[in-house]
Amino acid sequence: MATKSLKARNNDIANTSRQMEILSSGIFANGELPTFAAKIKETGHFPLRPKKLEILQINLGYMCNQVCEHCHVDAGPDRKEIMTVETMQQCLEVIKKTEAHTLDLTGGAPEMNPNFRWFVEEAAKAGIKDFIVRSNLTIIRANKKYYDLPEFFKKHNVHVVSSMPHWTRGKTDKQRGDGVFDKSIKALQELNAVGYGMPGSDLKLDLVYNPSGAFLPGDQMALEADFKKALKADFDIDFHSLFAITNLPISRFLDYLIASDNYEDYMHSLLDAYNPAAVENVMCTNTISISWDGWLYDCDFNQMLNLKVASKVKHVSDYNEDLLQDRNIIINQHCYGCTAGAGSSCQGVVA
Amino acid sequence: MSKPYYDAADLRKFGKITEWSEELGNKFFDYYGKVFEEGALTAREKSLIALAVAHTEQCPYCIDAYTKDGLQRGITKPEMMEAIHVGAAIKSGATLVHGVQMMNKVNKLEM
């Protein structure tokens, strides 16, 4: 189990241009597999264009209390990139005028940003009704100062979305680190205790499932039923929906695919499962991703590959929604991760 | 260079069998797809049966395919191993139950 980010380990893959090189060479250069651009051209989806903006996804920093094997952010305790109050203020200006109705806060562990609570409160004042916080659960138990997070979430009616790779301890700890399963269970029980995830409750608690290995997620509904049954029977835990998310071949997961000699087979699996219907609703068509330092991206994955939006407006300080929405979305072979099977997005399946 | 009889990459080419006999190939794949749909048995149960049979048939392609299928469905390692034991038990049982035939024959032939 890794305890340091790729960046701290000076791993080759931490270099984003190296990742782009890998994704553009080999089986995609020799014609064994079509590029994503060629594939979406078949159904007239090229160039990919934004639709109505619905979600602002803001990355509050790459610092995290966990170092998950598959993390596409390469987050960890050693990452010091944290959004400043100044950048948060620029985001708040955007929130006041955007058409987007949902603010999706992610990281790292977004709660570890020292101004996280202030930012949520200010965003609420600025008119955001739908908050999503992507919480890794263990943060709630990591330190006394986080123990009251469930109450804080409840106060602002935050929609909590949490990763939970499996309903068994072994699979969870293997992906996310020793002890993560027990802490996550405790955190889920505490969220349930304040009303989160209960049947009929407005306090939304959804779980995210990422496969822990070089395979794609199975049927989201079937997995949700299995998770619900097991978590209820074993730990009396309730939650609302399960989002099955495909791991994209970037960052730590790409490093794993290559090191385990699974890269080519995985790309074939994504291609075999390619679903043109999923292209219609990929999340980059209704989301803008903002990095900790205020740069704008089509999605969180492009952020991690350092592929800034193809627009005159590239930074939150110059934000202009009309200009920004009139752009082509930047794509590459990693995008196959969002179009496999029923599709994959931060809200689960899309087709 | 050794040339193995089995090549893992051949599994991806399975669909190509339709090229030399389209109608039969398509009928087979339609049937195959239908079999694994959710029915009186869940798709998950069918996946475990397929895994067990893949082992008793000793089909390396099927083992690769249904191990991955199981992981995708969240099937756990103990569940997979137990399924294989079911297959192994039937295989060994099928051998041993023929022992009755052997006993019958001995009893018939011996004075």
Statement: residue A102 has pLDDT above 60: yes
Amino acid at B93: G
Query: Hey, are the CB atoms on A223 and B71 less than 8 Å from each other?
Result: no
Confidence bin at A12 (pLDDT 50/70/90) = confident
pLDDT score at B1: 59
Confidence bin at A2 (pLDDT 50/70/90) = low
> Which of A167, A171, A216 has the CB atom closest to B72's CB atom?
A216
* Residue A277 C-alpha, separation from nearest chain B C-alpha, in angstroms: 20
Residue written as tokens 């409160």? A121
* Chain B residues within 8 A of A216 when measuring between CB atoms: 72
Confidence bin at A201 (pLDDT 50/70/90) = very high
Query: Hey, are the CB atoms on A218 and B73 less than 8 Å from each other?
Result: yes
- Give the Cβ contact number of residue A147 at 10 Å: 12
Percent of chain A with pLDDT over 70: 99
Which domains does chain B show, CATH number per domain? 21-109 (1.20.1290.10)
Dist CA A236 CA A230 (whole Å): 9
> Which of A167, A213, A219 has the CB atom closest to B71's CB atom?
A213
pLDDT score at A70: 85
Query: Hey, are the CB atoms on A166 and B72 less than 8 Å from each other?
Result: no
State whether the Cα torsion B90-B95-B101-B102 is positive or negative.
negative
* Residue B73 C-alpha, separation from nearest chain A C-alpha, in angstroms: 5
Confidence bin at A1 (pLDDT 50/70/90) = low
Query: Hey, are the CB atoms on B72 and A272 less than 8 Å from each other?
Result: no
**Average pLDDT for A252-257:** 94
Helix, strand, coil share of chain B (percent; to 5): 75, 0, 25
To the nearest 10 degrees (0 to 180), the angle between helices A169-176 and A180-193 is: 110
Query: Chain B residue with minimal CA distance to A220?
Result: B73
Q: Which of B13, B45, B72 is the best substitution to test chain A (most A C-beta atoms within 10 A)?
A: B72
* Contact assessment for residue A315 and residue A342, using Cβ atoms and an 8 Å cutoff: no
Residues of chain B that touch chain A, judged by Cβ-Cβ distance less than 8 Å: 12, 42-44, 68, 71-74, 76
C-alpha distance from residue A177 to each of A28, A165, A243 (Å): 34, 12, 21
pLDDT of A276-332, one tens digit each?
999 999 999 999 999 999 999 999 999 999 999 999 999 999 999 999 999 999 999
Query: Hey, are the CB atoms on A272 and B74 less than 8 Å from each other?
Result: no
* Chain B residues within 8 A of A211 when measuring between CB atoms: 71-72
C-alpha distance from residue B11 to each of A25, A31, B32, B60 (Å): 24, 19, 15, 9
Per-residue pLDDT of chain B (111 residues; tens, 9 = 90+): 578 899 998 999 999 999 999 999 999 999 999 999 999 999 999 999 999 999 999 999 999 999 999 999 999 999 999 999 999 999 999 999 999 999 999 999 998
> Which of A166, A211, A222 has the CB atom closest to B43's CB atom?
A222
Statement: residue A127 has pLDDT above 90: no
Q: Is A169 on the interface with B (CB under 8 A)?
A: no
Query: Hey, are the CB atoms on A218 and B72 less than 8 Å from each other?
Result: yes
Q: Is A216 on the interface with B (CB under 8 A)?
A: yes
C-alpha distance from residue A54 to each of A197, A203, A207, A244, A250 (Å): 24, 20, 21, 21, 25
Query: What average pLDDT is seen over chain A?
Result: 94
* Chain A residues within 8 A of B44 when measuring between CB atoms: 222, 226
> Which of A166, A215, A227 has the CB atom closest to B68's CB atom?
A215
**Average pLDDT for A268-283:** 95
